[in-house]
Structure formats: structure tokens, C-alpha cells
Structure 1
Amino acid sequence: MVNAGNAFKGTRIGTESYGGMAGWQAESGRRPAVVDRTVVSYWCIENHETRPTFAKLHDDEIPEVWECGRCGRAAGRLPGVEPLVDGIEPFKSHLQYAKERRSEEEAASVLEQALCNLRSRRGGLTGGLAT
């Protein structure tokens, strides 16, 4: 028969004990240090809001620019204003870097050379799909 007045009903062992402390904190008697926090809003040019949490800092220690969590663009602390970013290049994929280094003609030449090398290693297939 289950006792309806059981003090442990609805609790998990080890989660809350010794005055609200859990696990090693309860065993050692130590409490974690509580740090004051500041939530700062940043907006990108697409008007996405990102709200990172910082330790309580002076206003001049909080970064003026933060990366948007949705689109990856630079976000500033003023909505609707694109922040000025010096020296930080936006993300580029490998393909974008490759396109900067080669023209379309050079890319076609490199591709044709690679295909010729592959065909020679595979026994001289001359094109089309092998059956």
C-alpha cells in the first residue's frame, strides 16, 4: 500500500537536499558564486535581435559589435543601423575563395586536366557513364 503522505513523493534523489543545494554542493557545504549578469541587445541590418548575456561589466567593456545569431551578419547596439566593422571579413565558403583565385576559363582547364588524370587511372574511359 502506498502512503499518500510520503515526503519524497515527486522528488528525485540527490537533486534537492541540505537546504536547496544539490550533489557535491550539499556534500561539501560550498555554494557556487553568483555573478551579476547583464543582457545586451544587438540588432543586425535585417532587424534580427540577439541577446547575449555578459557578466556585470562597465559599459565600455561590453562589445559594440556582435555576430547575429540568425544570419551571421554584424550586429550593433542600435536597431536599424549597420555597424561599422574594421578589418573583419565576412564569412566566405571554400567555393567563394576558389572563385576569387581563378577565372571561369582557368577553372574549366583545371577540371578537364583532373578528369583526364582520373580517366587515365581508371583504364582509359573516354567519357560518358561507364556501364
Structure 2
Amino acid sequence: MAERTLRGARLGGQSFEDERGIEFAARQQVAYSCPQGHQFEITMSTEAEIPANWECPRCGAVSLNVDGILPEEKAEKPARTHWDMLLERRSLDELEVILTERLELLRGGEIGPAHLHRPGKAKKKAKA
């Protein structure tokens, strides 16, 4: 094993391969301009889809492409509330019935916070 290692070679050292015979991918420079006035270029493949915006390397702001490529506007769905999801599962009539049942139980002291429970109701049901 020791015979195969190169003397003087270290981890993170120079590569012993040269660039002869290697054909690099075609590249292009894409320019961006930041709202703070910073200008910078990013090297990309000619086959790559060019993004309309890029994060500025200096300040982190969203920079727009200088060539005038505009970002696509995404259709935003309105936020679904708990009420919307409830209406997907139940009709208004069903909800009215459930509400009246729960209110009767609450008023009767069978459900709800412990300090609102009526001691007489729980004992009567336990005996029956």
C-alpha cells in the first residue's frame, strides 16, 4: 500500500491532472442589478434556464436580471381558515344540530371546565 502513494502529496494539495483534452461546458455571464445599486455577474451554462432574480452577494437583497427577464407571478391561493375546512366536511344544518347538542350538555354541567360542573348531575347519572 505504501508503495503506491506519492511522496509529498497531501490532502487538499494540488491535482496531478492537467486540463489537456478536457472540453468545458459552454458558459455565459448573466448580469443582475440589486435595488441598493450593486451590479454583479453570475456564470451559468448556456443550456441553463436563467432565473429572473438572484440574491445579491453583497447585501442579500433580491436582484433583478439586467436583460429584462421578469419573474413569473405565482397564483396565490387564499388562506383556508378553520371555518372553511369545517364547511367542507359539514353542512350548516349539521353544524346547527351539533351546536345545540353541545350547548345543552354545557348548560347541564356535563361538559366544560371543572369549576362549572354541577355536583348533583354527575351523581344522579352514576346511580342510574
Question: TM-score, normalized by length of structure 2?
Answer: 0.37
Richer in strand (by share): 2
Question: TM-score, normalized by length of structure 1?
Answer: 0.36
Larger radius of gyration: 2
